[in-house]
Amino acid sequence: MRILGIDPGLNITGYGLIEGSGLKINLIEAGFIRTTSKDNTSVRLERIYRSLNKLIDNVKPEVLVLEKLYSHWRHPTTAYVLGQARGIICLAAQQNHIPIVEYPATRIKKSVLGKGQASKLQIQRMIQNLFSLKALPKPPDIADALALAVGHSYMSLKKI
């Protein structure tokens, strides 16, 4: 199964594609889509949308995995901006007939690291070790996206 994990953001949207199932997975591709704050929001969202459609067309994922939206009461604007990026991602997935699966961040962290409150650095290190990467995935959004894909693969094993 080809699993595309996406860590949405208006500035940086990380993505990671893995192939396999359960514990037998291979890294196919990972990267990020960057926008510039100099552009207005609609231009930035269009860039994410176009880039994601191109990515989907190139890598042909069978499922897209997103983190469930979480909003902290101290930072409501973050949820609003993140929601716009997620909406564009959901639209691209729907138009390309790719099912979307969502998980809370703590569930992904627990599945991949065994600890639901893991730090960004811990996620980066785990992804680096898992795929034998020479360096930490940077920006961290790439590691987050790969963790989503890996977590989905691990959790699908438990369903069998």
| DSSP3 helix / strand / coil % (the chain, rounded to 5) | 50, 20, 30
Instruction: Give the tokens for residue 115.
Output: 């600890």
The rounded distance, in Å, linking the Cα atoms of 138 and 119 is 15
51 within 8 A of 80, measured Cβ to Cβ: no
- Whether 67 sits among the annotated catalytic residues: the reply is yes
Q: Which domains does the chain have, with CATH numbers?
A: 2-158 (3.30.420.10)
φ, ψ (nearest 5 deg) of residue 135: -135, 165
pLDDT at 110: 93
- Whether 62 sits among the annotated catalytic residues: the reply is no
pLDDT at 130: 95
The rounded distance, in Å, linking the Cα atoms of 130 and 95 is 32
pLDDT at 160: 42
Catalytic residue among 7, 19, 29, 62: 7
- Whether 7 sits among the annotated catalytic residues: the reply is yes
Catalytic residue among 29, 46, 102, 141: 141
DSSP three-state, residue 92: helix
pLDDT at 81: 79
Quick count: other Cβ atoms within 10 Å of Cβ 31?
A: 16
pLDDT at 104: 92
Give the global pTM.
0.92
Question: Residue 65: what residue type?
Answer: V
Instruction: Tell me the torsion sign for CA atoms 69, 117, 8, 57.
Output: negative
The rounded distance, in Å, linking the Cα atoms of 76 and 89 is 20
Catalytic residue among 19, 67, 102, 144: 67
Q: Is 144 left (phi over 0), alpha (psi -120 to 50) or beta?
A: alpha
Q: What is the pLDDT along the chain (160 residues), one digit of tens a residue?
A: 999 999 999 999 999 999 988 789 999 999 999 999 999 999 999 999 999 999 999 999 999 999 887 666 566 677 777 889 999 999 999 999 999 999 999 999 999 988 888 899 999 999 999 999 999 999 999 999 999 999 999 998 755 4
